[in-house]
């Protein structure tokens, strides 16, 4: 029997994540029947390629979702808030990469290696939320440890690549490096300060409590995905790296978790790869993560300052596993288990 095919729309198809969604659909041989690329009026008329065939980019309108089964959204929160309900009303299941729906109690927030069962809740609103890129890689690494020893507190500091802000930020870093190496001042338009050869302890805007919105996303999303009232505190930093987010993660657990046991658990954990032999210079780096979908974990060591503490270094490609691949993985489970 021929495998059923599904009509797919990619909203924000010309952006960094949208482009990667298209690539992931093709790489993973998702059963695509018809595919529709949607974007703003600025990109309408551009021609992209899928499976070796040209596909014209169409302007996103309220009539864009007729006949669509699954809509992958990566066009920002404002468009997601407006068009996800429109797409759902037309019969499409929306998988949204923005923050617009993540904390809606009726919308599942899903990382397939952690809480795939939550996908069933898509029937509430026809929407599934893709978590924040930094949250995704952290919970993939922490899920097996939590299942074994019950995490009670997480302290995380992120070192996030510029690609998390989109194509314009990648170009800004490139231009600034060239300007500075040629003795000219760097011009900043995407970020509030120079990013080349610098680190910015600000991602998104700050709230009254001193946390940035990015940090609050990690705190709130982790609890929702892990389905546990874990104490979480975060510091998010932008660094001059093109692709690959890094995280220093400190956890406190209820039960004792040794380094040896953590390594054993992570070696067989879905979506993880252990790179942990510091004496030989083996530990995760962005250059290892870029272009692939695994979450890399290393520098595992006990925290001597608390009774049941562990430190980890976690790295992943923020555009792939942190966004596009995670969304396509959700779509794969959706068509395998839920859609008819």
pLDDT of residue 70: 98
Contact 94, 127 (CB under 8 A): yes
pLDDT of residue 340: 82
Q: What is the mean pLDDT of residues 316-330?
A: 97
Query: Based on the domain organization, do 308 and 329 belong to the same domain?
Result: no
Residue 1 lies in a domain: no
Residue 32 lies in a domain: yes
For residue 194 the two structure tokens come to 């120079």
Query: Based on the domain organization, do 158 and 279 belong to the same domain?
Result: yes
For residue 317 the two structure tokens come to 């490609």
Residues 172-185: pLDDT tens digits?
A: 999 999 999 999 99
**CATH code: domain of residue 158:** 3.30.360.10
Query: Based on the domain organization, do 87 and 150 belong to the same domain?
Result: no
Q: What's this model's pTM, rounded to 2 decimal places?
A: 0.95
Residue 212 lies in a domain: yes
Query: Based on the domain organization, do 191 and 283 belong to the same domain?
Result: yes
Query: Based on the domain organization, do 179 and 70 belong to the same domain?
Result: no
Residue 73 lies in a domain: yes
**CATH code: domain of residue 41:** 3.40.50.720
Length of the chain: 340
Query: Based on the domain organization, do 96 and 142 belong to the same domain?
Result: no
Residue 331 has pLDDT above 70, yes or no: yes
Choose the catalytic residue: 245, 246, 272, 288.
245
Domain extent at residue 145: 134-318
Query: Based on the domain organization, do 111 and 255 belong to the same domain?
Result: no
The band of 2, judged by pLDDT with boundaries at 50, 70 and 90, is low
C-alpha distances out from residue 202 to 89, 199, 205, 217, 238, Å:
37, 9, 7, 13, 7
Residues 212-239: pLDDT tens digits?
A: 999 999 999 999 999 999 999 999 999 9
Query: Based on the domain organization, do 331 and 277 belong to the same domain?
Result: no
Query: Based on the domain organization, do 202 and 296 belong to the same domain?
Result: yes
Residue 133 annotated in active site:
yes
pLDDT of residue 264: 98
Q: What is the mean pLDDT of residues 111-132?
A: 98
Residue 147 lies in a domain: yes
The band of 3, judged by pLDDT with boundaries at 50, 70 and 90, is confident
Choose the catalytic residue: 24, 84, 94, 133.
133
How many structural domains compose the chain? 2
Go through 58-70 and write b for each residue having 16 or more CB atoms within 10 A of its CB, e for each that does not: bebeeebbeebbb
The chain-wide mean pLDDT, for the chain, equals 96
Residue 54 lies in a domain: yes
Residue 1 has pLDDT above 90, yes or no: no
Q: What is the mean pLDDT of residues 138-150?
A: 98
């Amino acid at each position: 029997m021929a495998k059923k095919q599904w009509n797919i729309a990619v909203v924000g198809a010309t952006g960094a994540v949208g482009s990667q969604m298209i690539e992931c659909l093709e790489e993973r041989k998702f059963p695509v029947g018809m595919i529709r690329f949607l974007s703003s009026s600025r990109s309408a008329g551009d021609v992209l390629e899928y499976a070796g065939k040209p596909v014209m980019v169409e302007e996103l309108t309220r009539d864009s979702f007729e006949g669509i089964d699954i809509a992958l959204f990566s066009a920002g929160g404002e468009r997601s808030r407006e068009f996800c309900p429109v797409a759902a009303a037309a019969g499409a299941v929306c998988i949204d990469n923005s923050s617009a729906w993540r904390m809606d109690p009726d919308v599942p927030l899903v990382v397939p290696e952690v809480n795939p069962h939550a996908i069933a809740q898509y029937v509430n609103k026809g929407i599934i939320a893709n978590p924040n890129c930094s949250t995704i890689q952290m919970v993939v690494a922490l899920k097996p440890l939590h299942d074994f020893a019950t995490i009670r507190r997480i302290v995380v500091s992120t070192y996030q690549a510029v690609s998390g802000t989109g194509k314009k930020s990648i170009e800004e870093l490139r231009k600034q490096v060239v300007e500075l190496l040629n003795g000219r001042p760097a011009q900043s338009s995407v970020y509030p300060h120079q990013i080349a050869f610098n680190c910015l302890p600000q991602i998104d805007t700050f709230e009254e409590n001193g946390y940035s919105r990015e940090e609050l996303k990690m705190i709130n999303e982790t609890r929702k995905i892990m389905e546990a009232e874990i104490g979480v505190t975060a510091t998010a930093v932008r660094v001059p790296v093109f692709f690959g987010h890094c995280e220093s993660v400190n956890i406190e657990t209820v039960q004792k978790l040794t380094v040896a046991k953590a390594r054993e658990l992570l070696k067989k954990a879905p979506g993880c790869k252990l790179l942990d032999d510091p004496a030989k210079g083996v530990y995760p780096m962005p250059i290892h993560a870029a272009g692939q979908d695994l979450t890399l974990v290393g520098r595992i060591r006990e925290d001597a300052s608390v009774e049941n503490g562990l430190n980890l270094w976690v790295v992943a490609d923020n555009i792939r596993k942190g966004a596009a691949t995670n969304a396509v993985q959700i779509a794969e489970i959706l068509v395998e288990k839920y859609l008819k």
